[in-house]
Amino acid sequence: MLQELFTPSVQHALELVGIFVFAISGALLAVRKNFDVFGMAVLAEVTALGGGLLRDLIIGAVPPAAFTDLGYFVTPLVATGLVFFLHPHVERIQVAVNVFDAAGLGLFCVTGTTKAYEYGLGLTASATLGLATAVGGGVLRDVLANEVPSLLRWDRDLYAVPAMVGATMVVLCIRFEVLSPFTSGLAVVTAFVLRLLAMRFHWRAPRAWNRRSEMSEQEHKATA
C-alpha cells in the first residue's frame, strides 16, 4: 500500500474542499445557462463527483466513494444552495474560486493516480485515471450544459496539462520507488502552480500547424 499523502482525516477534509469548489463551478454554469435549482444541483454533483466516480467504476472500487460517504454527496448540495442565493456575490470572487479550483485539480490528479495504482493498474493507466479524476467532472458538466468541454477549447487557459504533469510526477515517483508524502505533495503543488501560471499568463496549447490565424476566431464563434 502506498503511503498516504496526508492523514486520512486531513485528506478527507481537503477532498471535501475540492469537491465544494468544483461543485461551485458547476452550479455557476447552471446559473449562466438559466437552469432551475434541480439543474443546478445536477451540474454541481456531476462536476464535483464525476471524475472520481468514473475512476472508481473503472478500477472496480465499488460501490464508489461518492455513494458510500455522505459528505461527498451532501457537499455539492451545500454549494448549490450557496450559489442559488448568493450567485452574484460568488461571481465577484471568481478569482478566489479559480485558485481553489486549481488546488482541487492538483490534489485530485495525485490522489486519483495513487488510488488507481493501488488497485493494480499500470503506471500509464494510473496516470490516465489520475487525469480523469481531476478533469472528468468538468467534461461531464460541459456536455450536460451543451458546451464544448473547456479542456478541448483553444481559447481556454491550460487545464488538463497541469493535471497531466502532476499525474506523471506521481507515476515517475512510483517507478523509482521514491513516492512519499513529500514527493506527492510536490506533485500537488506543481500542478497547482502550473494551473495558476496558465491563468495568469493565459498559456494555451498550440493548434494545428500552419493554421490560418485570421480564420480561427470566426470559425470558433460559428461553432460555439
Q: How many domains does the chain have?
A: 1
Residue 89 lies in a domain: yes
pLDDT in tens, 90-122: 778 778 788 888 988 999 999 999 999 999 999
pLDDT in tens, 32-87: 899 999 999 999 999 999 999 999 999 999 999 889 999 999 999 999 999 999 88
Residue 116 lies in a domain: yes
- Look up residue 63 and give its three cell numbers: 460501490
Residue 220 lies in a domain: no
Residue 92 lies in a domain: yes
Q: What is the mean pLDDT of residues 164-172?
A: 97
Distances (CA, A) of 127 to 151, 164, 195: 17, 7, 18
Residue 63 lies in a domain: yes
Residue 1 lies in a domain: no
Q: Where are the alpha helices (DSSP H) in the chain?
A: 8-32, 37-59, 65-68, 70-92, 94-118, 123-144, 160-175, 181-201, 213-223
pLDDT score for 4? 54
pLDDT score for 205? 87
- The 10 Å Cβ neighbour count of residue 127 is 26
Residue 142 lies in a domain: yes
State the residue range of the domain holding 86: 8-204
Residue 127 lies in a domain: yes
